[in-house]
Structure 1
Amino acid sequence: MADELPKAEIIKRESRYLRGTIAECLADEATGAIADADTNLTKFHGSYQQDDRDVRDERRRQKLEPLYMFMVRLRLPGGVLTPQQWLGLDEVADECANHTLRLTTRQTFQFHGVFKNKLRPLIQKVNKLGIDSRGACGDVNRNVVSNVNPHESQVHAEIHRLSAEISQRLMWRSSAYAEIWLGEECVHRVGEEEEEPFYSYYYLPRKFKIALAVPPENDCDVFANDIGLIAIVESGEIRGFNISVGGGLGTTYGEPETYPRLGRVAGFVPPDQAADACEAITAIQRDFGSRTNRSHARFKYTLDDYGMDWFHEKFAEYRGESMEDARPYHFDNNGDRFGWVEGENGNSHLTLMIQSGRIADFDGYSLRTALREIARVHIGEFRITCNQNLVIANVTPDQKQRIQALVDQYGLDDGSRSSPMKRNAMSCVAFPTCGLAMAESERYLPELTRKLDAMMEEAGIADTQINVRVTGCPNGCARPYVAEIGLTGKALGKYNLYLGGDTKGERMNRLYRENIDEETILSILKPMFERFAAEREDGEGFGDFLVRSGIVDADRSPRVFHEAFVSE
């Protein structure tokens, strides 16, 4: 029944294929905001309405509306772009945003501080670069991510091609995007064939995410996605893909029926059937995902409700044939390769550490200027990693020295300037712009990593990689639930502490303590670091040690994820 549907579901269905009154709101100069219903719809167009929370109270005292602004996220399958596109996006950051670029954990860009009157110019400028923001947010398939794999040139090329194919196939089709943002005439009329042959007028129940990984590297955290394609490579050729289903890291405090979950490997498909398989699985979620309870609408809950046997039956029905049995594979890490790596084609690739993915000119560190100068001379491409770092890819032998000279000139971090822990740490944006943030994340990460580094130095494990991820709320944007140490914001200066993930992205951590401050977090971790230093086995990671020693119980079901292992 329509009256049983949540508000967001009704808005989608009545939006005239995502048009709503967005165009009218953009023309309203009396406010910096858009109508509440349209804030749901602009997500499909790649934008979230936000406000500057640092000045919210002061503006309230002055009887002013919040300082509304927007975040705009781009669709960039596989995270690959040309130097010319980089330079164009760099200009957009000055002309339409807050003079920074931010690399996301889904291999794309976010622009922050975009005021309403700059939304349309920004999207038009991005469109001229051959990029769009369609479906970067909203209840549709999001940006398709993949392994970077710069050293496996031919395999990466095929993985990137497939990520672009899947993204294009599952992109929403309504002409609303062109009408609202690009000034094209309305071509759809009421009563004509619907504009969305795949999504229909109701789209998906919730967001949907797809990732492609190439073992032994899992730098995209493939199991954190609704669909994960795990490439089976033999003799340098992709023989097909194991398919993982039902991953997703979002959860809600106080709602124990919500929980993060890693995907489960369901079977194998040949390479020419991978995109078809993704479309069939997405259609299953479209048709059977919950429409009445948004908290229970992700694909992971659909699978938990119906079971894997049901899923296999539905897949065979929708696809016309069953999956084959899964093939053997092995992951050994979910981090990035820093520094120079030579690819199969003789070209080289340089991975740079970008803390929290923020590209700006900082005091004493002209990062944005340096990358602009590199883009002006580079003839290869840039690749964004799912860990918020950047690869200057396909550098020819005769160009390598020139690129390295710019790296040296500007003191760019190729991983050698940072500790192993710092260069693998991640955070979401949180304050001041994210309306969901309960605690600091990006602005807090440098201080946290400095203090953790000092404790690790004191314990004699400074050269050990420990995966740390921080978010300002429980939604999991920086994938904190697969970190060895994960912090999720609970209140200003307070976090939930999660421990026990691994370095392969194959095991979730578990809630250890709730709602604790920094002093408590450090006092918990200090003796653990010391014990790890004294008792670890050869090659054992910190998270593995915590599980082996019984400090963390890794066997608890995701359904009891919110139960702390140690009560306060």
Structure 2
Amino acid sequence: MEKEKKLSKVETIKQESRFLRGTIAEALQEDSTHFSEENVQVLKFHGMYQQDDRDLRRQLKQEGKERAYSMMIRARIPGGILSADQYLQFDKLSDQYGNQTMRITTRQTFQLHGILKKNIKATLKAINDVLITTLGGCGDQVRNIVSCAAPHEGPFYDKVRADLLALVDAVSAKTNAYHEIWLDGEKVEFSEGQTEEPLYGETYLPRKFKIAFAYEGDNCADIFSNDIAIVAHRDGDDVAGYTLAIGGGMGRTAADKNTRPFLAQPFCFVEPSQLIDVCKAIITVQRDYGNRYERKFARMKYLVAERGLDWFREETQTRLGYDLTPPRDIVWTSSHDHLGRIEGHGDKVHLGLFIENGRIKDTETVKLKSVLREIMQTYQPTVRLTTQQNMILCDLTAEQVDEIEAKLHAAGVLLADEYRPVVSYSMACVSMPTCGLGIAESERVMPQIIRDFERALKDLGLQDDPIIIRMTGCANGCARPYIAEIGFVGRTIGKYDVFLGANIAGTRLNQLFKEQVPAEELVSTLYPVLRAYRDERQDGEGFGDYCVRVGLDKLQERLVTVS
């Protein structure tokens, strides 16, 4: 007789949380620096992770002290658009309660690090005071819905934005727990059998769920790395409809070869009026059939891979009560971020800034955080955060942009076009010292590594080639390394698995090239491959396309020959 499967520990915690209440309110009254494991899991749904300074772990343990606990708080900012005043609130909170930095994430939002337990409530209240929430920033629910960050204007783009916001509202958690605990909302008397979540139910989704929008032709948001990818088709000033692809996701477990990244597959085309109902139906299929026993297989990508698109389509159609229309073919013409000066309608000018690895901070030589604060206060631009961890300052005049560029230079900040492409197209996840999953450095070592590559590319005459390099401190892939032409994935302390062969369009995964390469050997390992690319590439051929055409086996043979 087959042994009955046991729900994962997190599933039990969710089931007993009383719609995300847990015992958080009681824990806030306790004189302690951290939360229990059960509350830590529930707190993710409220937009925060409990972390500690891993640089201090050994020392504190030797001294017989507890870990240096703090919280990472992540906002939900649909499409990454916020006002200057909202930006300034995060800036203020990062200084008042955080570690004096702000982090732009790959999902177009801000993370604040270093928030102590005693300051969580004040931080969340201040964020909500400027009409932004953290509910939905993390946890087994639909996360922050992202989109192309380009500051387009006109009726078509307004309609897509309206559809995005309507979808956000439709798939957001409805529990009152967030307001009860953090915003002093009226406590709801909870009774057995009470339903607060018409979409999610009492156990929410088996795992996190990501949705992304793109305009046909522009894949700057890497939409195929999401559970649902939504492509807007234009018909003049109207939205002709949306093509949906499903089943994408980056995460994997390095030690388990059965786990791997997937790209979303074309699924259907929907009229604008159908978008919400179809997305909700897809979500409920994952809710009802997703793996709740092994969390490493709980993302919807594994359900799609196991059951197949035909099964998933039938199940979705049954819930909708009508047949779905086949997806439209899509041609991608761009995937790069929207950086530099961007001409808008009339006399509007926008300025896309490269923010290295998304970290907004001041150093001795570069006063990025201070100058951005001054710019927000003086010019009040609309702010657009990008999925490539950058920022666009919008709705300015040409004269204002001139002044802003001068202020940036005076603060030691380079403009986007003053970086080589290999630098401005790079990304790294946070990893050490705060992320509990990181097993190798990422954000802290990437600036040096990427500049080592910059020098190598200059030596090869490839300094102007747009080669995309991304790094993560573990296999979960938060910086989307599996759709980079060169991906570095932390395998152990100081060593990385190297992946090659994705394309610039973001429509092909890369492949494992070499395992456990020491950080100091990443450039020397790939130098022969880059040299071969220079000598053998075809006209207009990108580095990832070259690697696939030649084959990774052939490229590995060349490494052996060189050594």
TM-score scaled by length of structure 2: 0.95
CA offset at residue 408 of structure 1? 4.0
Tell me the SS of whatever aligns to 1:416.
helix
Distance 1:184 1:105 in 2: 31
Where in structure 2 are the equivalents of 1:134-145 lying within 5 Å? 134-145=135-146
Distance 2:35 2:519 in 1: 38
> Is 1:64 paired with 2:65?
yes
CA offset at residue 552 of structure 1? 6.2
State the match for 1:534 in structure 2.
535
Q: Deviations over 1:353-397 (max 9, x none)?
A: 000100011221110111111111234410000000000012245
> Partner amino acid for 1:483?
A
Tell me: CA distance 1:7–1:490, structure 2 relative to 1, closer, same or farther (3 Å).
Answer: same
Higher mean Cα deviation, 399-408 or 544-553? Answer: 399-408
CA offset at residue 405 of structure 1? 3.9
Pick aligned residue for 1:23 from 25, 41, 60 = 25
State the match for 1:279 in structure 2.
280
CA offset at residue 399 of structure 1? 4.0
Distance 2:200 2:447 in 1: 42
TM-score scaled by length of structure 1: 0.94
Distance 1:130 1:214 in 2: 27
Tell me: CA distance 1:89–1:289, structure 2 relative to 1, closer, same or farther (3 Å).
Answer: same
Distance 1:236 1:504 in 2: 26
RMSD of aligned Cα (Å): 2.1
CA offset at residue 160 of structure 1? 2.8
Sequence identity of aligned pairs in percent?
39
Q: Can you give the 5+ residue segments of structure 1 that lack an aligned partner in the other structure?
A: 555-563
Distance 2:540 2:5 in 1: 57
Where in structure 2 are the equivalents of 1:112-123 lying within 5 Å? 112-123=113-124
Tell me the SS of whatever aligns to 1:55.
helix
State the match for 2:480 in structure 1.
479
> Partner amino acid for 2:18?
R
Tell me the SS of whatever aligns to 2:416.
coil
State the match for 2:163 in structure 1.
162
> Partner amino acid for 1:77?
P
Distance 1:408 1:56 in 2: 39
State the match for 2:492 in structure 1.
491
Where in structure 2 are the equivalents of 1:304-323 lying within 5 Å? 304-323=305-324
Distance 1:342 1:158 in 2: 21
State the match for 1:366 in structure 2.
367
Q: Deviations over 1:137-192 (max 9, x none)?
A: 00000000001122455444333332222122111111110111112231232146
Q: Is the 8 A contact 2:163 2:272 kept in 1?
A: no
State the match for 1:557 in structure 2.
none
State the match for 1:11 in structure 2.
13
Distance 2:512 2:6 in 1: 34
Tell me: CA distance 1:272–1:532, structure 2 relative to 1, closer, same or farther (3 Å).
Answer: same
Tell me: CA distance 1:553–1:265, structure 2 relative to 1, closer, same or farther (3 Å).
Answer: farther
CA offset at residue 349 of structure 1? 1.3
Q: Is the 8 A contact 1:209 1:227 kept in 2?
A: yes
> Partner amino acid for 1:217?
D
Where in structure 2 are the equivalents of 1:59-98 lying within 5 Å? 59-98=60-99
State the match for 1:547 in structure 2.
548
> Partner amino acid for 2:503?
D
Q: Deviations over 1:11-62 (max 9, x none)?
A: 0001111111112222221x31101111110000001011000010000000
CA offset at residue 412 of structure 1? 3.3
CA offset at residue 522 of structure 1? 2.0
> Partner amino acid for 1:230?
V
Distance 1:82 1:231 in 2: 25
Distance 1:484 1:333 in 2: 15
State the match for 1:513 in structure 2.
514
CA offset at residue 343 of structure 1? 2.3
CA offset at residue 322 of structure 1? 2.2
Tell me: CA distance 1:249–1:111, structure 2 relative to 1, closer, same or farther (3 Å).
Answer: same
Tell me the SS of whatever aligns to 2:440.
coil
Tell me: CA distance 1:381–1:552, structure 2 relative to 1, closer, same or farther (3 Å).
Answer: farther
Higher mean Cα deviation, 12-21 or 191-200? Answer: 191-200
> Is 1:184 paired with 2:185?
yes
Distance 1:192 1:314 in 2: 27
Where in structure 2 are the equivalents of 1:452-463 lying within 5 Å? 452-463=453-464
Distance 1:344 1:157 in 2: 14
Q: Is the 8 A contact 1:151 1:341 kept in 2?
A: no
